[in-house]
Amino acid sequence: MAGITLNKAIKRYGAVDVIHGIDLEIEDGEFCVLVGPSGCGKSTLLRMVAGLEETSGGDIHIGSRNVTRLDPAARGVSMVFQTYALYPHMTVAENMSFGLRMNGHPKAEIAAKVKAAADILKLNDYLERKPKALSGGQRQRVAIGRAIVRGPEVFLFDEPLSNLDAELRVEMRVEIARLHKEIGATMVYVTHDQVEAMTLADKIVVLRSGRIEQVGTPLDLYHDPDNRFVAGFIGSPAMNFVKATVRDGRVHAPGLSDEAFAVDIALPPNGTDLLVGVRPHHIAIDPQGASHTLIVKEALGAMFHAYLEAPTGERIVVEVPEAEAVGLQGEVGLRMGPDRLLLFDARTELRLR
């Protein structure tokens, strides 16, 4: 078992840097999720750890070993691919045992390891089938089984659930969480889905354009984002942002309310442009008010999403309990606690604390 340390890891394609010197510490046994929009470099970073992409600068340690220049096979990692990457001409058992067979392990040991992995993943009934005869979820299980059989120090997952339908994705998500609990190995998991990140991770790393935006536990990132990007990326539905200005030591956000808010942090000078962020479920609707126009209600069951338009033209999403939402229409007002508002500098988009 081993943690992973990245020191100023850089990936360069020709003259273009796609990973700009990343420092990251992943503890032994931790479930670390790399998350970010497409093109942010999260898969590249994972593949650098796997050794499938060469590291252009900096170094990567797994445990106490410097693996920066090692072959993928020598790093003690297993990887689960988005498209499963199962060998179509081999049965499930052959797929899982391929790596061990190629490296001359004794037959009895291989059989025992395949059996153990199949037990964990409930694949015993399918061992003699070819991947073609399996469903997407079963194929992904086999891919994970292949990773387990090799007994690696580190598991790497590259968007393993994005080829599955919504229902299976939830099921496999739980499965992976259970697996992590059972095996206890270090896992690095790449996804663009912030729900997967929130539910699986011990530690989330939010990436954008090859740089780390913030590292922290899911709830840290949710409640205490460092900047507007993280605040907007984590949480569903996404946080609302409206323009605001500092006026006489108070925050004036016309998209939320005509009245300025008092906040208990040190504000920049008068007239500075700010962004105010507030989560949809931190806003309540005041049916007596008339500051906003209700455009659409989406029924999700117990909760409704109400889409409002402010007089400034800004859109605001509010989460409303079913009971309050049913009769809602026309002009409404908003209520929210000022302590729920997050302030960001409009220019740097950094959080004001």
Partner 1 sequence: MSYVTRVWQDHKTTITPWLFLLPGILMFAIYIVIPIFQSIAISFYRWDGLGEKTFIGLENYRELMRDDIFFTALQNNVIWLVLYLLALPAGLFLALFLNQTTRGIRIYKSLFFFPFVISQVVVGLVFSWFYDPSFGLFNTGLMKIGLSPIPVLADERFVTYGVIIAGLWPQIAYCMILYLTGLNAVDGEQIEAARLDNVRGWRMLWYVILPQLRPATFIALVVTVIGALRSFDLISIMTGGGPWGSSQVLAYYMYEQAFSEYGFRMGYGAAIAVVLFAIMLIYIGFFLAKMYRDEKGR
Contact positions vs partner 1 (CB under 8 A): 50, 52, 71-74, 77-79, 81-83, 85-89, 98-99, 102-103, 146, 150
CA nearest to 7, candidates 62, 47, 54 = 62
Number of residues in the chain: 353
Q: How far apart are CA 71 and CA 115, in angstroms?
A: 28
Q: How far apart are CA 162 and CA 193, in angstroms?
A: 9
- The residue among 187 and 320 lying less far from partner 1, judged by its C-beta, is 187
Contact indicator for 67, 51 with CB cutoff of 8 Å? yes
- The residue among 62 and 306 lying less far from partner 1, judged by its C-beta, is 62
- The residue among 88 and 313 lying less far from partner 1, judged by its C-beta, is 88
- The residue among 105 and 297 lying less far from partner 1, judged by its C-beta, is 105
Q: How far apart are CA 273 and CA 271, in angstroms?
A: 6
CB half-sphere exposure, 255, CA atoms < 13 A:
21
> Minimum Å distance from CB 79 to partner 1?
6
Q: How far apart are CA 85 and CA 50, in angstroms?
A: 15
> Minimum Å distance from CB 156 to partner 1?
9
Residue with tokens 């190995």: 185
CA nearest to 126, candidates 93, 85, 88, 160 = 93
Checking phi first, is residue 53 left (phi over 0); if not, alpha (psi -120 to 50) or beta?
Answer: beta
> Minimum Å distance from CB 351 to partner 1?
39
> Minimum Å distance from CB 173 to partner 1?
21
Residue 110 tokens, joined:
């291989």
CA nearest to 307, candidates 223, 252, 254, 237 = 237
- The residue among 36 and 131 lying less far from partner 1, judged by its C-beta, is 131
> Minimum Å distance from CB 188 to partner 1?
14
Q: How far apart are CA 336 and CA 248, in angstroms?
A: 21
> Minimum Å distance from CB 84 to partner 1?
8
- The residue among 97 and 138 lying less far from partner 1, judged by its C-beta, is 97
Under DSSP, is residue 347 helix (H, G, I), strand (E, B) or coil? coil
- The residue among 99 and 137 lying less far from partner 1, judged by its C-beta, is 99
Q: How far apart are CA 353 and CA 336, in angstroms?
A: 19
Residue 296 tokens, joined:
């659409």
> Minimum Å distance from CB 186 to partner 1?
16
> Minimum Å distance from CB 122 to partner 1?
22
- The residue among 73 and 326 lying less far from partner 1, judged by its C-beta, is 73
- The residue among 29 and 72 lying less far from partner 1, judged by its C-beta, is 72
CA nearest to 205, candidates 42, 44, 87 = 42
> Minimum Å distance from CB 262 to partner 1?
55
Tell me the C-alpha to C-alpha distance, in Å, between residue 319 and each of 177, 254, 284, 304, 339.
Answer: 28, 20, 8, 6, 18
